[in-house]
A = this chain, B = another copy of it.
Amino acid sequence: MPRRRPIRHAMETLSPLVRDFVLHFGEMGSRWGINRTVGQIYALLFVSPRPLNADEIAEALAFSRSNVSMGLKELQSWRLTQPHHLPGDRREYFAAPEDVWAIFRTLAEERKKREVEPTLTMLRGALLQKPSGDAERHAQQRMREMHDLVELITLWFDDVGRLDPATLVPLMKMGSTVSKVLEVKQKITQLAGGRARTATAD
C-alpha cells in the first residue's frame, strides 16, 4: 500500500495541513476503485479557495500534465467537477462544488448508476430463468433476497436524497427515535379514523 516512488519535489508548495488531507484521500481513493491521482486531485480542488487550472494542479501535486488531464477527465465523468473559464484566460479552471451535500449526492447517484443498476439488472435477469434442480432454486432464492434488499435500500435512498438538507439534517439527528415517533403516529392515525394517512408502504 505505501508507494515508494522517489518523491521528486512533491507538494513543496502545499502546507502540511493540506498535504496530509490530499495524501489521505489519495489512499482512500485507492480503496474505492478510484485511483490515487484522482483522489488527490479532488482533495486539492475541494480545499482550494479558488478554481485551479491543470498546470497548477500538476505543479502542486508533482504529477505530469497528462496525468492531471486524465484525472480531471475522470472527475468530470463522475460529475464531481466541471471546467470554467476565467475572462481573458484561455485555460480551463476546475473547482469542487461549494455544497458538501451536493458532492455526496452526486457521488451516490453515480455509484448507483455504475454499480447498483447493473447489479439489479443482472439479478432480474437471473430471476427470470427457470431453475433446473434444487441448487438453482436455492441460488435464485438467495438472489431474490439480495435483489429485494438492494432495491429497497436504493429506492429509499432516492427518496431521502430528494429532501433538502434543512429537512434532512434534523431528521438524521433524530436517528432511530424516528421509529418511536412512528409508533405515536400509528395511534394518532387510529384515533383520527385513518384521516392522517401519509404512507402506504409501496
Contacts and interface: CB of A to CB of B under 8 A. Distances in A.
A143 B47 contact: yes
Contacts of A134: 49
Contact of A177 (B28, B136, B172, B199): B199
A202 interface: yes
B146 A100 contact: yes
Interface stretch (A3-11, A72-80, A158-166): A158-166
Interface residues of A, number: 73
Interface in A111-145: 114-115, 118-119, 122-123, 125-126, 129, 131-132, 134-136, 138-140, 142-143, 145
A191 to B, nearest CB: 11
Nearest to A29: B33
A152 B169 contact: yes
Contact of A100 (B126, B149, B159): B149
A198 B175 contact: no
A93 to B, nearest CB: 16
A180 interface: yes
15 contacts: A18-B135, A28-B119, A31-B115, A32-B115, A46-B146, A47-B143, A49-B135, A100-B149, A152-B173, A153-B172, A158-B175, A162-B176, A170-B182, A177-B199, A184-B198
A126 B49 CA distance: 17
Interface string A22-48: 001000101111000000000000111
